[in-house]
């Protein structure tokens, strides 16, 4: 068994435990992380994950009272407001009360969706997370953001709703395809570029094969989670510092919404966003060519920049205008003054954004 890591998250509204390791959902200790005294336990679980790990999950689910299982397709297009209404009706029909709890089992889509449902059902009931992808482990299961997508943008309807606890069993990563693993590696790399030197070191010292070693993966996840917690604990509701976690996401989310959440994986969209926003940082005179080369090198070593994009930069820009972080009619980005030193809420003119997007697309097309 890989080393068991225990972390505590503390915010202004709550505190909760995080357990990281291999095969941990079989441990009796998990009973200390998710209570078993609810009147009903609603499990919102990815159909794909259940198909792969049904026997293991059934043993885990059997520990909880009043079990109600809700299967969900885990594509980003399913994390929408209309589907949320249907699931809330299912909660009512199943008899969930204010004494019930929700457990989200799956990737970031399922975790976000389960968190959103729990945040608004009867004005809020507890949610617990069992993330099963690297991306959901190092990002969406931590920090209390819940959301669904609207037609004009990603995560446009949501609430801050901290989990009761998070269990990260890396056994689920054994069946995670490389393309899905890359989504999480992008997020860990983002942490590395905005200040988490340990994650950056681990990524630069490994490749797509060696990073899957249980001990290496546990260290990477722990480093990323600790870094994110260090940010979230100081700014739970993203009124300041937490905005640095959006590095690459303004462009990335625009790409996802432009392509209807099916044309590009989240991680690769954010990877493109980080390259574009790093390019803008260079245009500002903040990053040098060596910095961009270092960022590009680690991305290429994990195959993070192979998305085939045939887009008009003006269309990407039009979707960036809907980003909820914008204000005053302008577009705000997170840029890098240097590697590890992010600057948030930087107003960037549209001409510069178009130029940086065009530069990236031209390189991808071999122009």
Concatenating the DSSP letter of every residue in 99-127 gives: T-EEEEEESHHHHHHHHHHHHHGGG---E
Residue 228 annotated in active site:
yes
Q: Which residues of 189-226 are buried (b: 16+ CB within 10 A; e: fewer)?
A: bbbbbbbbebbbebbeebeeeebbebeebbbbbbbbbb
Residue 206 annotated in active site:
no
Which of 68, 180, 187, 277 is catalytic? The answer is 187
Which of 129, 266, 268, 282 is catalytic? The answer is 266
> What are φ and ψ of residue 131, in 5° steps?
-70, 145
Distance CA 221, CA 143 (A): 15
Residue 242 annotated in active site:
yes
Residue 145 annotated in active site:
yes
Which of 55, 123, 310, 351 is catalytic? The answer is 123
CB 132 within 8 A of CB 46: yes
Distance CA 13, CA 7 (A): 17
Residue 238 annotated in active site:
yes
Residue 249 annotated in active site:
yes
Which of 238, 256, 277, 343 is catalytic? The answer is 238
Residue 347 annotated in active site:
no
Which of 40, 249, 268, 282 is catalytic? The answer is 249
Which of 149, 183, 206, 246 is catalytic? The answer is 246
Q: Break the chain down into helix, strand, coil percent, rounded to 5.
A: 50, 20, 30
Residue 129 annotated in active site:
no
CB 60 within 8 A of CB 25: yes
Which of 48, 79, 242, 282 is catalytic? The answer is 242
Helix (H, G, I), strand (E, B) or coil at 218: helix
> Which residues are within 8 A (CB) of 163 and not within 5 positions of it... i.e. 6 or more apart?
16, 115, 126, 127, 128, 129, 141, 144
User: The tokens of 60 are what?
Assistant: 């885990």
Which of 253, 268, 282, 319 is catalytic? The answer is 253
Residue 123 annotated in active site:
yes
Which of 48, 79, 145, 268 is catalytic? The answer is 145
Q: How wide is the angle at C-alpha 163 spanned by C-alphas 160 and 168, nearest 5°?
A: 130
Which of 129, 182, 228, 282 is catalytic? The answer is 228
- Active-site positions read 123, 145, 187, 228, 238, 242, 246, 249, 253, 266
């Amino acid at each position: 068994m890989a080393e068991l890591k225990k972390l505590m998250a503390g915010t202004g509204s709550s505190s909760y435990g995080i357990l990281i390791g291999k095969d941990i959902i079989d441990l009796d200790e998990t009973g200390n992380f998710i209570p078993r005294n609810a009147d009903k336990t609603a499990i919102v679980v990815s159909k794909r994950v259940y198909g792969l790990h049904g026997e293991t999950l059934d043993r885990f689910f059997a520990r909880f009272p009043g079990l109600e299982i809700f299967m969900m397709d885990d594509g980003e297009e399913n994390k929408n407001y209309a589907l949320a209404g249907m699931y809330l009706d299912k909660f009512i029909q199943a008899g969930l009360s204010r004494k019930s709890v929700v457990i989200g089992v799956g990737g970031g889509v399922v975790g976000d969706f389960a968190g959103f449902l729990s945040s608004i059902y009867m004005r809020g009931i507890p949610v617990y997370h069992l993330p099963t992808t690297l991306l959901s482990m190092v990002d969406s299961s931590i920090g209390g953001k819940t959301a669904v997508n609207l037609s004009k943008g990603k995560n446009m309807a949501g609430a801050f709703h901290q989990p009761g606890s998070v269990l990260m069993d890396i056994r689920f990563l054994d069946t995670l395809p490389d393309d899905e693993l890359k989504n999480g590696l992008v997020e860990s790399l983002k942490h590395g570029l905005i200040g988490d030197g340990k994650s950056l070191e681990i990524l630069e010292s490994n490749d797509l094969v060696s990073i899957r070693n249980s001990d290496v993966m546990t260290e990477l996840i722990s480093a990323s989670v600790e870094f994110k917690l260090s940010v979230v604990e100081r700014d739970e509701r993203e009124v300041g510092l937490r905005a640095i976690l959006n590095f690459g996401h303004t462009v990335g989310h625009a790409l996802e919404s432009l392509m209807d959440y099916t044309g590009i994986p989240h991680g690769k969209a954010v990877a493109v966003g980080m390259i574009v926003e790093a390019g803008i940082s260079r245009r500002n005179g903040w990053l040098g060519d060596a910095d961009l080369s270092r960022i590009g090198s680690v991305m290429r070593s994990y195959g993070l920049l192979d998305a085939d994009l045939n887009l008009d930069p003006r269309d990407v820009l039009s979707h960036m205008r809907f980003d909820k972080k914008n204000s005053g009619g302008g577009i705000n980005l997170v840029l890098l003054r240097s590697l590890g030193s992010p600057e948030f809420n930087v107003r960037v003119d549209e001409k510069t954004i178009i130029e940086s997007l065009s530069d990236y697309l031209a390189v991808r097309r071999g122009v």
